[in-house]
Structure 1
Amino acid sequence: MEQDYLEEGEEVNDAQLKEIVANVVMKMNGIAPSSNHHLGIFEDMNEAIAAAKVAQKKLRQMPLETRDQIIDKIREKIMANKEILARMAVEETGMGKVGHKILKHELVAKKTPGTECIKIDAWSGDQGLTLVERGPYGVIGAITPSTNPSETVFCNGIGMIAAGNTVVFNPHPGATKTANFAVNLINEAAKEVGEFENLAVSIRKPTLESGDILFKHPDIDLLVATGGPGIVKVILQSGKKGMAAGAGNPPVLVDETANIRKAAEDIVNGASFDNNLPCIAEKEVIVVDEVADELIYYMLSENDCYMLRGEEINRLANTVLIEKNGKYMLNRDFVGRDASVILKAIGIDAPEQTKCIIFEGCKENLLIKEELMMPILGIVRVKDVDEGIETAVLLEGGNRHSAHMHSSNVNNLTKYGKALDTAIFVKNAPSYAGIGFGGEGFTTFTIASKTGEGLTNALSFTRARRCVMSNALYIR
């Protein structure tokens, strides 16, 4: 699979793409609200919200067929610009891999649901007819991350517009240009369908102040945040209805009944995808001692991993973690960076094709406890599956986001799933199967584990309305 997407990225004319990206970035730096080239981008958050409110009133009057047409156009725009968006994100943030980001955009374009999610429930009987229909919230305020800037904008945008909402984005400051280019493409698509404007809006320079306006503005009916634990806390304390997608630190457990060779391949592919930026990715490995050596053997011999030992592990910790006020934090210089870059920083020259750094450690090791978002996997040995489940629960930390397991024992899989109780549970596959990449089901880039919605789609962004006709409109 890796060969396929690397070849896809390499087919693009690199010089041409760099020139296009540079032009886009320059235009974004000089953008104005009235710009015909970049639709939906404002200097002021209050102006952006006002524009979205006007647009939502118009959108709400349009039939579902019109929403479908807009969404089809958005999908076309994503596919036409996937290489540019992928390169923009890597160049702006310094994180991830272009080939993988191309695949993520394809996934969003093809597997993000639209209006088909929105169903009507009906009851007909002696006392008449009752319908429960789904209607929009109105104007949604959305916070997007630097890890998946344009993917999140498109995925949220499709679902929210399908539900009849407009959306105001406050992008991560480290990925503003990429996110805002995605907002522009959404509005281009809408304009081509019917001269719609500002179905999605954003601001040129997002700040803490603009985010605070978004959280408190009376015309914002719902808040949706995709990010770390800090933004989740803000959303939950906002006083508004909120959906919050936060930290995961997903463990992967391997028991003695697993297909070890396949488990090694799946784990490395999942953990190295886009350099471990996805929140669903395997962040640590827990393996029953009986098969631990075999798992490590296949990770090293067939899956381009590099294993650290002894003092090398300490050097890694001192490089990718920073101590501040007695607490350890991620060194952002290494988030989403290639494994070979991280190894070079600790004095190890490794092949550029190195996918993942592995090492053995105990469950108390900071490199294992902390969610690194780097292609680094700590491996914890356990005596049996029960100790493995206990360890996984500890390391997952109650986020209830994602968990993965490799096993052919249904009872073990069942025990693990119940104990972790996560929004996503992937069995015998790479983690990304959980969002529809190599697995069945729709995709999403906002997994609201903390607030309970799980994998969000258009239905998540609607409210239920009950309509009752008493003693009429039934036929017997």
Structure 2
Amino acid sequence: MNLANVEMEKLVAAVVKEVLKSSGTSSPNAYGVFDCIVRAVEDASLAQKQLMTFSLEKRAEFITAMREAALAHAEFLAEMAVKETGMGRVADKIIKNRLAALKTPGTEDLKTEAYTGDRGLTIVEMAPFGVIGAITPVTNPAATIINNSIGMIAAGNSVVFCPHPSARDTSLKTVEILNKAIISRGGPQDILCTIKEPSLKAVQELMNHPKVNLLVATGGPDVVRAVLSSGKKAIGAGAGNPPVVVDETADIEKAAKDIVDGGTFDNNLPCIAEKSIIVVGSVADLLLANMQKHGAYLIQGTHLRDLEKLVLQEKIVEPGKSKYVPSKQYVGKDARYILEKIGIRAGEEIRGIVALVEAHHPFVMVELMMPILPLVQVKNIDEAIALAVKVEHGNRHTAIMHSKNVDHMTRFAKAIQTTIFVKNAPSYAGIGVGGEGFTTFTIAGPTGEGLTSARTFTRQRRCVLVDALSIV
């Protein structure tokens, strides 16, 4: 960057800062936390315009500062999230926060396409939407905001976050930390914004604001349906119910350890985590024995019925019709804590619970988001694949398989059509923990974008120059 560009950026930054100040729309604490959505969006819109006056090189500096700040506060934010929400494990949330900081793609994800020929030059560039309205979950509050912020700003957007109310403090603190990092490198004051008191009303105001150009929802099916009905461009990262299939050719001891590791990671809060096990009967006993060896507690008989009563609630859908839903007070809780509630004292090595059940059992069909892994035995791979497809409910989110038979893996992948398909590893390898590739905590299955990154948050712009600049 030459000296003239540097001086121009300083001048623009000073001018916009004065505009923000004189307009009376500056955020109360200068770090993006607002009393109302309207003010947040207005400031985010001004900040986005300022962001676009900076070079791509300077934008990358902001991203670097955000990564450094997220890494420096990874442990603090993990502890804060567990304390505030009562969900998950601090050690695992630290891993997720660091993962978001290190493996979320930045400006390098933006690629320009060019076409040349007899009639000139055409380029297609990735341009920002403008202001993005982002709804974030209680399950991964800090990690999702870190991940979204890096990708969305790298793409040239500003963001207004509406976090889950039960993760309010952690979410607001994350936004504050990232904003401080951006400002420290001379960036816009309110490129990241949020609401002091998140609520359903705030979500509706965010969706309806005319200056919000793109909505991104990370959460359950209800919030995804809401953004898809908004009339705006929307990216929805909805629920999953990932099955793991184990066939007779698998390395059973490794499969058992991987399943326990993946299924108990952050107490099963990640939407990619193993939610049920479908195993060919001939290796079921061996798998179960090895799971117990690696930290799973086997529960059956009267204790299984006690567990069902504890973690499931029957919800009336309509007169004469009901369905089971998970009891919220046990979502993301430690396995030992859950076991204690039904009178079982387990050793410190216990991280998960494995239950032998039938295919139609609610533990199999309902996404519990608890370290409870139902295990279903089937006769062969054909039954395993058919049941796994049924269990996944067409979410097209994540599936896992342990097998050494390439034909089996191919058949399962084609049948289940999930966004992420992990083979012979814990589920979290699918987002870059112990596996290759970038990470994201916004996995857009319902709307088809898949694992989101900076390029996801752009729109294509085509520039055509006819009969010129062709040098061949």
Letter of the 2:455 partner, please give it.
L
For structure 2, the 5+ residue unaligned runs are 1-25, 317-321
Matched residue, 2:186: 194
- For the pair 1:381 / 2:377, whether they are aligned, the reply is yes
Does residue 329 in structure 1 map to residue 314 in structure 2? Answer: no
Residue 308 (1) aligns with residue 302 (2): no
Structure 2 distance, partners of 1:455, 1:362, is 33
Residue 34 of structure 1, aligned match among 9, 28, 35:
28
Match of 1:178 among 170, 173, 176: 170
Q: TM-score, normalised by structure 1?
A: 0.92
Partner of 1:261: 253
Aligned residue among 121, 124, 131 for 2:116: 124
Q: Does 1:76 align with 2:68?
A: yes
CA distance in 1, matches of 2:268, 2:407: 29
Contact 1:340-1:353 within 8 A present in 2 as well: no
**Cα distance in 2 for residues equivalent to 1:323 and 1:396:** 21
Q: Which among 216, 220, 236 is matched to residue 212 of structure 2?
A: 220
- Structure-2 residue corresponding to 1:89: 81
What does 1:263-282 correspond to in 2, within 5 Å? 263-282=255-274
- Paired residues for 1:331-346 under 5 Å: 331-346=327-342
Aligned partner of residue 373 in structure 2, secondary structure: strand
- 1:195 deviates by 4.4
Measure the CA separation in 2 of the matches of 1:366 and 1:313: 12
Q: Which residue number in structure 2 is paired with residue 229 of structure 1?
A: 221
Q: CA deviation at 1:421?
A: 0.4
Please tell me whether the aligned partners of residues 285 and 377 of structure 1 are also in contact (alpha carbons under 8 angstroms): yes
1:226 shift after superposition: 0.3
* Alignment-derived partner of residue 364 in structure 1: 360
**Cα 1:195/1:438, change in 2 over 3 Å:** closer
Q: Which residue of 1 aligns with 2:39?
A: 47
CA deviations 1:411-467 (Å, max 9, x no partner) are 000000000100000000000000011000000000000000000000000000111
Report what 2:420 is aligned to. Answer: 424
1:469 match: secondary structure: strand
RMSD over equivalenced CA pairs, Å: 0.9
Q: What's the counterpart of residue 402 of structure 1? A: 398
Provide the C-alpha distance between the structure 2 equivalents of 1:282 and 1:290, rounded to a whole number of angstroms: 21
SS in 2 for 1:221: strand
Matched, 1:112 2:112: no
1:328 Cα deviation after fit? 2.0
DSSP-derived class of the 1:194 partner: coil
Which one-letter code corresponds to 2:82 in the other structure?
A: V
Whether the aligned pair in 1 keeps the contact of 2:27 and 2:190 (CA below 8 Å) is no
SS in 1 for 2:468: coil
Between the aligned partners of 2:373 and 2:249, the Cα distance in structure 1 is 21
Determine helix, strand or coil for the equivalent of 2:82.
helix
Partner of residue 317, structure 1: 308
TM-fit CA distance, 1:367: 1.2
Q: Aligned-pair distance for 1:339?
A: 0.1
Tell me the distance in 2 between the aligned counterparts of 1:195 and 1:379. 51
Quote how far apart the aligned CAs of 1:352 are.
3.1
User: TM-score, length-normalised on structure 2?
Assistant: 0.93
Question: How is 1:343-354 mapped onto 2 (pairs within 5 angstroms)?
Answer: 343-354=339-350
Alpha-carbon distance in 2 for matches of 1:471, 1:35:
53
1:159 has 2:151 as partner: yes
Q: Deviations over 1:235-257 (max 9, x none)?
A: 11111110001111000000000
Larger mean CA deviation between 324-333 and 262-271 belongs to 324-333
| CA apart distance, 1:382 | 0.6
1:262-297 per-position Cα deviation (integer Å, ceiling 9, x unaligned): 000000000000000000000000000010000001
CA distance in structure 2 between the aligned counterparts of 1:196 and 1:189, rounded to whole angstroms: 11
Aligned to 1:63: 55
Q: How far apart, CA to CA, are the structure 2 residues paired with 1:192 and 1:175?
A: 26
Query: How many angstroms apart in 2 are the aligned matches of 1:35 and 1:41?
Result: 7
Distance in 1 separating the partners of 2:432 and 2:233: 28
- Following TM superposition, where does structure 1 have runs of at least 4 consecutive aligned residues deviating by more than 6 angstroms? none
- The aligned amino acid for 2:449 is E
Structure 1 distance, partners of 2:323, 2:277, is 24
Could you tell me whether the CA contact under 8 Å between 2:62 and 2:187 is conserved in 1?
no
SS at match of 1:280: coil
- Report the counterpart of residue 199 of structure 2 in structure 1: 207
- What letter corresponds to residue 428 of structure 1 in structure 2? N
Count of aligned pairs between the two proteins:
442
2:454 pairs with 1:458: yes
Q: Which amino acid aligns with 2:28?
A: S
| 8 Å CA contact 1:114, 1:458 repeated in 2 | yes
Give the drift of 1:165: 0.2
Task: Show the counterpart of 1:15.
Answer: none
Which runs of 5 or more residues in structure 1 are unaligned?
A: 1-31
Aligned to 2:73, what secondary structure does the other structure show?
helix
Name the CA distance, whole Å, in 2 between partners of 1:353 and 1:197: 47
8 Å Cα contact 1:249-1:279 kept in structure 2 = yes
